[in-house]
A and B are shown apart, each in its own frame.
Chain A
């Protein structure tokens, strides 16, 4: 069975600090993609970063980086130098190479404190 787990329902971080949002996944598929999305209070899901299961290096996109530990089946999102505009829900998702589905976690609510 495919499964994504985000164990932190809510997180707080001080402005300009770094924060790590946890994500673990479960799949028997040897090939898969991992994604992170941000959902501000406006409701629209915004794609942040992607990691392929065979990628040798951790993905980075600006202030976002993905700490991919394949053996532990974890794909944590690291946001550096947090900004007030980073306050939002963050969702981890996995897309196995078999089938056409994305599987989403339940999300983590991040609040950046000035």
Chain B
């Protein structure tokens, strides 16, 4: 079974803190994605990566950066957390760009 894990299920941080969300997949997938999910807005793509050290902006990259140093790991970084970044963050991976995405359990981030 494909397994996508995320470092935390729940996280509480203060405004201005640097926040790291980590995602690891164990199936050698090329593509990895970070979404945020907010009620009534569905899933919105923040960043994605189709190879190690490669990254592309999604629809809402402002305030975020990413890192992919190894194929299995894709990190989302909030350089200076703000209250409007309180959300559910979902990581996903896929074999190829046309295949279904497999999701991790999500991290519910609260920024106070």
Contacts and interface: CB of A to CB of B under 8 A. Distances in A.
Contacts, number: 51
Contacts of A84: none
A36 to B, nearest CB: 10
Contacts of B108: 43
Contacts of A101: 45, 48, 58-59
Interface string B25-55: 0000001010100001111110010100000
A50 B100 contact: yes
A29 to B, nearest CB: 12
Given A33-B98, A50-B100, A97-B98, A45 B92 contact: yes
B87 interface: no
A26 to B, nearest CB: 15
A37 B103 CA distance: 10
Nearest to A43: B106
Given A100-B31, A100-B48, A101-B58, A47 B102 contact: yes
Contacts of B100: 35, 47, 50
A46 B101 CA distance: 9
B42 A91 contact: yes
A7 B95 CA distance: 31
A10 to B, nearest CB: 12
A73 B43 CA distance: 21
A107 B42 contact: yes
A44 B106 contact: yes
Nearest to B38: A106
Main secondary structure of the interface of A (DSSP, over half): loop
A47 B101 contact: yes
Interface of B: 9, 31, 33, 35, 40-45, 48, 50, 56, 58-59, 88, 90, 92, 97-98, 100-106, 108
25 contacts: A4-B42, A9-B40, A33-B98, A35-B101, A43-B9, A43-B105, A43-B106, A43-B108, A44-B103, A44-B105, A45-B90, A45-B92, A45-B101, A45-B103, A46-B103, A50-B100, A91-B42, A95-B97, A100-B56, A101-B45, A101-B48, A102-B33, A104-B42, A104-B44, A106-B40
